[in-house]
Amino acid sequence: MQLLYLIVPLAPLVGALIAGLFGWAIGRRGAHWITILLMIVSTVVSAVVFLDVLGGAADNVTVYRWLDSGNVSFQIGFLIDRLSATMMLVVTFVSLMVHIYTIGYMADDPGYQRFFSYISLFTFSMLMLVMANNFLQLFFGWEAVGLVSYFLIGFWYTRPTAIYASLKAFLVNRVGDFGFLLGIALVLMYFGTLDYAAVFAAAKTLAGNSIELPFFWWDFKWSLMTLICILLFIGAMGKSAQFPLHVWLPDSMEGPTPISALIHAATMVTAGIFMVARMSPLFELSETALSVVMVIGAITALFMAFIAIVQNDIKRVVAYSTLSQLGYMTVALGASAYAAGIFHLVTHAFFKALLFLGAGSVIIALHHQQDMRHMGGLRKYMPVTYLTMVIGAISSAGIPGFAGFFSKDAIIEAVHFSKLPGSGFAYFAVLTTVFVTALYTFRLLFMTFHGPERFRGGEHHDDHGHAPHESPAVVTVPLVLLAIPSICAGWFIGPVLFGGYFGGAIVVAAPHDVLGEMGRHYQGVVAMMIHALGTAPFWLAVGGIATATFLYLLRPDLPAVIKGKAGYLYTLLERKYGFDEFNDWFFAGGARLAGGGLWKGGDVAMIDGFINGSARAVGWFAGVLRTLQSGYIYHYAFAMIIGILLLLTMVFIA
């Protein structure tokens, strides 16, 4: 079995190395065949491991000792349980779909081999992250996925916006990692190990500890678990783009669409969610941390959804939708409904990857036009893309029967049952977001596929003359393959959420066990759907769809009127609450100002001023001394006489 575990991440790594280092030799076909074949190997082996784990197997193996220091041994190793096996399957499956899709999407790109190398390298990194059995390897994978994300956002390296966005993404993530690494350092300090198993086993005994943080004259006293969990969560906020570290994700859309689907929707951005779920034995020990998680998630879910309504770039709508959905997952974590968070992670991976790849299909059909104001009426030209996108949209809006409904409804219910401080606000936020989600999702659908055809005469398309056509099979087949789980993945809600699916991988303290409470009312998939028809979330979703229908199908003149009336609010949303401007001004500008001030004022003026000043002082002093050494005998004789007189005076006075 252990060999199989190794194959899962190493197969994509080998693919990445071959495509990256020898892409010039094997050519474009060679690059995609090798990486895809190795991805198939990885996916199949993941499935084997998954089935094995379903059969009750669980494993914790060490691969090699990375470093010994002090009395700690840092190791690389795998923890294979229900949680990691599920993630492995999702990651490899979505990655495989994206690999195939890329053949079509990147067909004309000169960086073809490089792209395949990157996405395979990403898959390796993500697998190392989810399979880790210790914090160190988690951090490895964490940073490695960030690295590949940086490469891929800046894939088109001559575009100023792309290389700006890639740097921004890396640095914002680094702010999160700052907290994450400190959290890991505290874990090592108090537990003496970074192995999950040992840390989780000892967590309860350290629950009551508090930590003093002497800062010069002040003494801060914190609950140890609260501090550790919040620091770790800061890492999750960076990677999973939670408010206020969300700013990098919309800009990451500068990268090619396949990676928006793979990295910035389905897998990498969910690493933070996965991490918190993995750390459930720690988070369960701090209600303060859970509250923080829930409130941050709720803020993200609600306020990012609002922005999606006013975006016109098709990818940015989906990007803000991703932010909002990540907020849902975070809320679930805060409500201790970890299983629901992971379940939504999985269903979201399918329907969001589908929406992204569908958007990409539209974008290639329109020759890289991304502005929805230059789309419309595409449904008769691109039926497969249209139908699969409809499935994705319905799933995303949470209509009963589709995957998104089950996972989202479970989260809303879980927040309803939660008694932690902040759960009231969170419940309001997730409910409101249901309406907004349906509204922006169907707005996207209507603006793109319905209504008048606005793509003729657009700046990108005017001289082509022929009608847009459906994308090739390498694009549509992944769409169909993703549409299937976007419908049915939710039907497994019973065993996953209420059947103890995750077993010991997720720990929930009895007072927080909202899913257990919900499980007592759960009577099967159909009953849940019927019950939902009488609840608020369903009617809010329907209301959202109805509003979108009215505004964008029936009265397409109205949005402009509303925009005129709500000018101030519209500007606020369009400028994304001004976070980018503030960060550019305060953090980027402030750091440059401070750096310049310290350099010119500190290094050049003060330190070098002092050093060169003392050098000049020595020179001046030497000059003074030099005048004394005039070379005239009578000068020296005179000086001697004065000296003798002075000495005599001193002797006599004494």
Partner 1 sequence: MLLGFNLLNLAIWIPIAFGVAVLVTGSDRNARLARVIALIGAVLGFAVTLPLYTGYDRLATGFQFTYFAPWIESFNVNYHLGIDGISLLLILLNSFTTVLVVIAGWEVIKERVSQYLASFLFLSGVMNGVFSALDALLFYVFFEATLIPMFIIIGVWGGPNRVYAAFKFFLYTLAGSLLTLVALIYLYNVSDGSFSLLDYYRLPLPLAPQIMIFIAFMLAFAVKVPMWPVHTWLPDAHVEAPTGGSVVLAAIMLKLGAYGFIRISLPIVPDASHTLAGFVIALSLIAVVYIGLVALVQADMKKLIAYSSVSHMGFVTLGIFIFNAHGLEGAIIQMISHGFISGALFLCVGVLYDRIHSRQIADYGGVVNTMPVFAALFMLFAMANSGLPGTSGFVGEFLVIMGAVKANFWYAAAAATTLVFGAAYTLWMYKRVIFGAVANPRVGALADLNAREFLVLGLLALAVLTMGVWPNPFAEVLHTPVNELLNHVAQSKLR
10 counts as binding partner 1 under rule CB under 8 A: no
* CB contact burial 258-295 (16+ within 10 A = b; e otherwise): bbbbbbbbbbbbbbbbbbbbbbbbbbbbbbbbbbbbbb
596 counts as binding partner 1 under rule CB under 8 A: yes
Minimum distance from residue 154 beta carbon to partner 1 (Å): 7
| Segment contacting partner 1 by CB under 8 A, of 273-281, 426-434, 600-608, 634-642 | 600-608
492 counts as binding partner 1 under rule CB under 8 A: no
160 counts as binding partner 1 under rule CB under 8 A: yes
Q: Which of 377, 349, 347, 344 is nearest to 362 (CA)?
A: 377
185 vs 546 by CB, closer to partner 1:
185
158 vs 205 by CB, closer to partner 1:
158
| Segment contacting partner 1 by CB under 8 A, of 6-14, 489-497, 578-586, 589-597 | 589-597
Of 17, 44, 185, 488, which one interacts with partner 1 (CB under 8 A)? 185
629 counts as binding partner 1 under rule CB under 8 A: no
22 counts as binding partner 1 under rule CB under 8 A: no
Site for partner 1, residues 431 to 450, rule: CB under 8 A: none
228 vs 434 by CB, closer to partner 1:
228
Angle (CA) 104-314-569 rounded to 5° is 165
619 counts as binding partner 1 under rule CB under 8 A: no
Rounded-to-integer distance, Cα 509 and Cα 507, Å: 7
Residues 475 and 100: beta-carbon distance below 8 Å: no
CA distances from 12 to 85, 169, 257, 281, 475 (A): 17, 24, 20, 31, 21
Q: Binding mask 318-357 vs partner 1 (x if CB under 8 A, - otherwise)? A: ----------------------------------------
Rounded-to-integer distance, Cα 198 and Cα 477, Å: 45
Q: Please report where in the chains the tokens 């979201």 appear, as a residue.
A: 348
> Which 3-state string (H, E, C) describes 569-612?
HHHHHHCHHHHHHHHHHHHHHHHHHHHHHHHHHHHHHHHHHHHH
DSSP string covering 142-188: HHHHHHHHHHHHTSSTT-HHHHHHHHHHHHHHHHHHHHHHHHHHHHH
Rounded-to-integer distance, Cα 443 and Cα 101, Å: 25
90 vs 138 by CB, closer to partner 1:
138
Residue 244: is the preceding peptide bond cis (ω within 30°)?
A: yes
Q: Binding mask 69-88 vs partner 1 (x if CB under 8 A, - otherwise)? A: xxxx----------------
Total number of residues that touch partner 1 (CB under 8 A): 50
Minimum distance from residue 170 beta carbon to partner 1 (Å): 6
Radius of gyration of the chain (CA): 31
Of 571, 589, 603, 613, which one interacts with partner 1 (CB under 8 A)? 603
170 counts as binding partner 1 under rule CB under 8 A: yes
Minimum distance from residue 162 beta carbon to partner 1 (Å): 9
Q: Binding mask 123-152 vs partner 1 (x if CB under 8 A, - otherwise)? A: ----------------xx--xx--x-----
- Number of helices (H) and strands (E) in the chain: give both, helices first: 29, 4
Query: Residue 56 — left, alpha, or beta (φ > 0 → left; ψ -120 to 50 → alpha)?
Result: left
Minimum distance from residue 31 beta carbon to partner 1 (Å): 16
| Segment contacting partner 1 by CB under 8 A, of 81-89, 96-104, 162-170, 285-293 | 162-170
Minimum distance from residue 440 beta carbon to partner 1 (Å): 33
Site for partner 1, residues 209 to 268, rule: CB under 8 A: 211, 213-215
Of 567, 595, 619, 643, which one interacts with partner 1 (CB under 8 A)? 595
Structure tokens at 186: 């505290």
Minimum distance from residue 59 beta carbon to partner 1 (Å): 23
Half-sphere exposure of 234 (CA within 13 A, CB side): 17
Taking residue 395's Cβ as centre, other Cβ atoms within 10 Å add up to: 31
Of 201, 536, 554, 607, which one interacts with partner 1 (CB under 8 A)? 607
118 counts as binding partner 1 under rule CB under 8 A: no
Residues 576 and 249: beta-carbon distance below 8 Å: no
Backbone φ and ψ of 534, nearest 5°? -100, 15
Minimum distance from residue 602 beta carbon to partner 1 (Å): 7
175 counts as binding partner 1 under rule CB under 8 A: yes
Site for partner 1, residues 48 to 67, rule: CB under 8 A: 64-67
189 vs 641 by CB, closer to partner 1:
189
Rounded-to-integer distance, Cα 436 and Cα 440, Å: 6
Which parts of this chain interact with partner 1 (CB under 8 A)? 64-72, 139-140, 143-144, 147, 154, 157-158, 160, 163-164, 167, 170-171, 174-175, 177-178, 181-182, 185-186, 188-189, 211, 213-215, 591-592, 594-596, 598-599, 602-603, 607-608, 611, 615
